[in-house]
Structure 1
Amino acid sequence: MSYWQLSSVYFFYFAVLGATNPYWGLFLQDEGFDAQDIGSLMAIFIATKLIAPNIWGYLADKTGRHLKVMQLGAALTPLFFIGVYWQQGFWSMAAVMLAYSFFWNAILPQYEVITLRAIKGREDSYSKIRLWGSVGFIVAVAGLGWVLDFLSVQILPTAILFIMLGMGLSTYYLTEIKRNCLSEKKIKNDKFLKYLFRAPVICFLFAVILMQLSHAPYYTFYSIFLEEYGYTRTSIGLLWSLGVLAEIILFWQMHRLLKIFNATTILWFSLFVAAVRWFFMGASPESLWVILLLQVLHAATFGSFHAASIAIVRQMFPDRHAGQGQAVYSSIGFGVGGALGAWLSGWMWQNWGAELSFYFAALAAFAGAVVILVSLQVSRGAWLASYD
């Protein structure tokens, strides 16, 4: 598969996130939901990551049809998203978000497997392919930010639906790449749980949970937060874009960083940077220069953290369990951390306010850095071992 075939799916997938992450909270607010409702709805949406990726990952590994599983998810996601047009309140909105996100969560973990197999032997090109996801995010967030200064936020579902359709079409230009097979006996006796319950894997997943929990106030309320401080929606879109632009530059150079530092070092450093970012976001929201600098730090808190995590998952799980490995990273890390964080951030935002919510986020990220550093001291050899 060509560079552009692989890149196009990332472009559309993350363009959907560029349309939803910054603006879905504003849409829900316009629909009459309060902060606690918004936090709960986002928690329900994210909670599907606890189950859905593992179901899809198991099916993909069992059948060897990672591409077909991903294409099914890409086709059914927009079909169920259409229900947004007929929702009548909290529970109907929750049902729609639950349904479409179940299929949405079939896409990325399996596509990571497809991409890594397609570039086997030249893994340093992963970040240059993945950066097109960041480009898609910027195009969506900046474009919609400008549009929403002139049009009602009620157009948002239609914009998201069209991007989803583009994503679905982009998956049909791909071809399945078969895994390297072992003997049936070896595969049968080689259980996924043997790899999952190793101490470094548990510590890694716990750190991912804490990192995603720390991002929850940002992903759920950042646009509302900025709007309360007088920023226009164009400015909000540009601030989101700045963070992702920094992420693109990071992805472009990530292969160099991974040659200088191991993935685990990059992981704990990213967690520490996140703690700094959230602390000052709570302390200095009125300063544009501080906000600009904190958005640049997105390169570390998402970009380097994600790239290092993908490298660690690939190292910790053999190819025959690659789909489930990526699914666990998505479901446990993003599902538990994201859902718990979204629910907590909704409660904290309503009862404690923005400042304390971001201080809590800083504490969570710092705790994640400590978990990785302590685990490295106890079992450094197990962290660096490859199990493929």
Structure 2
Amino acid sequence: MSLSKPSSSNPNILFTLYFLMFAAGGIYFTYFLIFLRQSGLTSAQIGVINMSGGVVAFFASTLWGYLSDRTGKARLLLAFAIAANGAIALLYPLAHAFPAFLAIACVFAIFNAAIMTLMDSLALNLLGERRHEYGKYRLGGTFGYISTTLTIGFLFERIGLRWMFPIYFLIMLLYALLATRLPDSSTGASRSSLPSLKALGTLLRQPGWGVFLATTFLIWLASSGAISFLGIKLKGMGASDSLVGVVASAAAIFEIPFMLYSGQIMRKLGIPRTLWFAIIGYIARVFLYTVIPTPEWAIAVNGLNGVSYVLYWNAALQFNNQNAPENLKATAQGILVSTMNLASVASALLTGGLYDAIGADPVYSLLAGICVLALILFTLGNRRLVFPPRTEAEPLAQADRT
């Protein structure tokens, strides 16, 4: 795949795109489960919706990445998916029964998977040799997330949660329009450089890939359950909608220095050690949710978002990008996102079924235990997390030609 050289405006475009992406996400993912609960759905039904969306996204993520690698049209695919995602969200207020909510969520997940897969892959490709600076541009997402989670809860207390979807749509529409201004990530793939299943198999057989994906699966299983039900847990403790928003924005505020300096941290510690420290951060964060005496304490616990989520996600992206051949980078990103979506499915089955049965604190203790299991797996297997020099990785990029 031949990449066009980023223009001087690209960093500003990426910063703004991430701002809009996470501003919309701050609205949707903070209040969506609360909206479903207020619509009369049980925890088990909410878990089924999360599970079904995760199943759809599991298959869709890799397909979107592969389609991007095959066509070289990541920019247009991204813009289309963003617009479709925002439009589908407008259907939620029209639903009045569990089957309708489920159907909308599954279609929503198809296009949301494209955004999660293509945005980061496109950003890393555009940054090229400057991809270690990814955190600086992804910081736009942090500010976007803060801007909505810190303020929108006060608005929803006045106008109701049903207005979250029109607001979400407007932000996504602006996001889609701006995405069309991105330069093409490819000048077109030649027939000989198109990715094949053989090249994909070579990618998956790289040393350490299984350890990396298995660890990511466990971490995302635990964190997905913890974050998805945090709003419901806090509401059960007496929190207001505005406090739920403040808790969510606190996580983003505390991640700012880690986004700014994640590149330096990874160069200092190395990717495996950065991942290791991030897993420790997840263990502490998820466990502390079980012992907070009042919902306000969740603000302090979310201070661990930087050392857990930011370090793990940024290091995982770098591991993915460094190990993937040039013509399979979007596909590799799709596999990573698919692994996370599969973890979300397992998390929905686990937390959705147990939350009503045993209560919040036992569920969160179980999720913390899963993080400990991830740490054990990673510690035993991290010697296989290797980074082949460019000269050794080159045959992987050629594997589909033989």
TM-score (norm 2): 0.90
CA distance in 2, matches of 1:141, 1:39: 23
Contact 1:200–1:375 (8 Å) recurs in 2: yes
Asked if the contact 1:39/1:220 (under 8 Å) is kept, the reply is: no
Equivalent in the alignment of 1:344: 350
Matched, 1:93 2:101: yes
**Structure 1 residues 37 and 124 mapped into 2: Cα distance closer, same or farther (>3 Å)?**
same
C-alpha separation in 2, matches of 1:187 and 1:218 = 37
Which secondary structure does the structure 2 equivalent of 1:122 belong to?
helix
* Structure 1 stretches lacking a partner, 5+ long: none
How many Å separate the matches in 1 of 2:187 and 2:272? Answer: 26
* CA deviation string 1:254-302 (max 9, x = no partner): 111012011111112111211111112112343744x333110011221
Quick one: distance in 2 between partners of 1:296 and 1:180?
44
User: Relative to structure 1, is the Cα distance of residues 83 and 370 closer, same or farther in structure 2, using a 3 angstrom cutoff?
Assistant: same
Q: CA deviation at 1:224?
A: 1.6
Aligned to 2:331: 324
Tell me the distance in 2 between the aligned counterparts of 1:31 and 1:353. 21
User: Which AA in structure 1 matches 2:171?
Assistant: I
> Which residue does 2:4 correspond to in 1?
none
Give the direction of change, closer, same or farther, for the CA distance of 1:357–1:73 in structure 2 (3 Å limit): same
After superposition, the Cα gap between the structure-2 partners of 1:340 and 1:385, relative to the gap in structure 1 and judged at 3 Å, is farther
For 1:238 and 1:87, locate their aligned partners in 2 and report how far apart those are by CA, in whole Å. Answer: 28
Counterpart AA for 1:77: N
Cα distance, 1:370 vs. partner? 1.5
Farther-moved stretch of structure 1 (295-304 vs 78-87): 78-87
Question: After the TM superposition, which residues 9-48 of structure 1 pair with which residues of structure 2 at under 5 Å, given as runs?
Answer: 9-48=17-56
Q: Work out the CA distance in 1 between the residues paired with 2:28 and 2:47.
A: 14
Q: Partner residue of 2:63?
A: 55
- Counterpart for residue 254 of structure 2: 246
CA contact (8 A) 2:286 2:365 kept: yes
**TM-superposed deviation, 1:8:** 1.7
| 8 Å Cα contact 2:290-2:364 kept in structure 1 | yes
TM superposition shift of 1:82: 2.5
Root mean square deviation of aligned Cα: 2.1
**Structure-1 residue corresponding to 2:301:** 294
Match of 2:265 in 1: 257
Task: Report if aligned partners of 1:18, 1:138 keep a CA contact under 8 Å in 2.
Answer: yes
Separation in 1, partners of 2:223, 2:180:
33
| Deviation sequence 1:139-177 (CA, Å, 0-9, x none) | 121121121232322222222222221221221111102
Question: C-alpha distance in 1, partners of 2:104/2:195?
Answer: 39
**Code of the aligned partner of 1:371:** L
Q: Determine the structure 2 residue equivalent to 1:201.
A: 209
Displacement of 1:188 in angstroms is 6.2
Does structure 1 conserve the Cα–Cα contact (< 8 Å) formed by 2:219 and 2:371? yes
Q: Secondary structure at the match of 1:120?
A: helix
Question: 1:125 Cα deviation (Å)?
Answer: 1.8
Match of 2:185 in 1: 177
User: Gapped runs of 5+ residues in structure 2?
Assistant: 1-6, 395-402
Q: How many residues align?
A: 384
User: Which of 20-29 and 227-236 deviates more?
Assistant: 227-236
Mapped to 1, the partners of 2:259 and 2:193 lie a distance apart of 40
Please give the alpha-carbon distance, in whole angstroms, between the structure 2 residues aligned to 1:260 and 1:384: 19
In structure 2, relative to structure 1, the CA distance for the partners of 1:185 and 1:171 (3 Å cut) is closer
Label 1:215 to 1:145 Cα distance change in 2 as closer, same or farther (>3 A).
same
Q: d(CA) in 1 for partners of 2:190 and 2:208?
A: 25
The residue that corresponds to 2:164 in the other structure is 156
1:366 equivalent in alignment to 2:372:
yes
Q: Percent identity?
A: 19
Q: How far off is 1:37 after superposition?
A: 1.1
AA of the residue aligned to 2:353? W
Q: CA deviation at 1:210?
A: 0.7
**Closer, same or farther: CA 104–186 of 1 in aligned 2, 3 Å:** closer
**Aligned equivalent of 1:79:** 87
CA shift in 2, pair 1:85/1:145, >3 Å:
closer
